[in-house]
Copies of this chain bind each other. A is one copy, B any other.
Amino acid sequence: MQIARTISEIRKYVAQARAAGKTVGFVPTMGALHAGHASLIEAAAKRCDYVVASLFVNPTQFGPGEDFEKYPRPFEKDAHLCESHGGHAVFAPSADEMYPRKNLTWVTVDKLTEPLCGQSRPGHFRGVTTVCTKLFNIVGADVAFFGQKDAQQAIVIRRMVADLNMPLEIVVCPTVREPDGLAMSSRNQYLSPQERKEAPVIYRSLQRCAELLDAGERDAAKIVEEMQKVLGQTPALRTEYVSILDAESLERCDPIRGRILVAFAGRLGSTRLIDNIMVDTTAK
């Protein structure tokens, strides 16, 4: 597998793959790879001839007091995981390589970045859309792969790509879960053994929502109340939001209709966890 630490190196590797007639897939990550990332790399390898994964803990998407410093960076393990799931190159630049001077240019997406995580993480999505634009421009892939676990991010990125006519396709892959339902996340390793045992309550609350929708319930406020009852079984969990929104516009949607995003964010101890399900209520 090829390892690139600089922009010119990864551009050279991709140019060589292109010259050989290969299609290029891209999986942007912050490293600390888990089975969720592995599934993205596998999806990319299935779809494209040459697969690049980036490992970059992007400073501009962390707020003051967030976990930028302590975010795990197990490079050797990440490179190995990438290779073993079908990746051909890893792009792992330094912060100076990505931001060699004060960054003055930002890509922002209005409206879609306001609700949910936009409320508690001001500037987060601006950091994400800006670094994704940079990475897309650097790698020059045909297809980029994102996880449904970061649902709002995927919706924002899709809209950015469409609005700015970026010449690549965005594929969103299903959330990968532990056997007990906890969504895979690099931040799960922050959890104490007790917190780890309690964390699956989040997914149970989402399953409760799915049951109610299946049974025909369309009153969003009522469903959220039921979900909060489930979440309330774990007093250590401090809920930041439980929201049911239109899956495209991220606007309130009560009574529920069409494709919806049911999203949770909260803290277990000091660890912030998010999860969601997408449900198409049209056919039901």
Contacts and interface: CB of A to CB of B under 8 A. Distances in A.
A167 interface: yes
Interface in A88-135: 101, 103-112, 129-130, 133-134
Nearest to A108: B106
Contacts of A140: 167
B110 A107 contact: no
A221 interface: no
Copy number in the complex reads 2
Given A101-B163, A106-B107, A134-B163, 18 more contacts: A11-B167, A104-B110, A104-B112, A104-B159, A105-B108, A105-B110, A105-B159, A106-B108, A106-B110, A107-B164, A108-B108, A133-B164, A137-B164, A137-B166, A137-B167, A138-B165, A138-B167, A140-B167
Interface of A: 7, 11, 101, 103-112, 129-130, 133-134, 137-138, 140, 159-160, 162-167
A105 B137 contact: no
A106 B159 CA distance: 11
A227 to B, nearest CB: 29
Nearest to A107: B107
A221 to B, nearest CB: 27
Contacts of A11: 167
A11 B283 CA distance: 37
25 contacts: A11-B167, A101-B162, A101-B163, A103-B163, A104-B109, A104-B111, A104-B159, A104-B163, A105-B107, A105-B108, A105-B109, A105-B110, A105-B129, A105-B159, A105-B160, A105-B163, A107-B107, A134-B163, A137-B164, A137-B165, A137-B166, A137-B167, A138-B165, A138-B167, A140-B167
Contacts of A107: 105-107, 164
A106 to B, nearest CB: 5
A103 B165 CA distance: 11
B164 A134 contact: yes
A178 to B, nearest CB: 35
A156 to B, nearest CB: 9
A31 B160 CA distance: 27
A11 B160 CA distance: 19
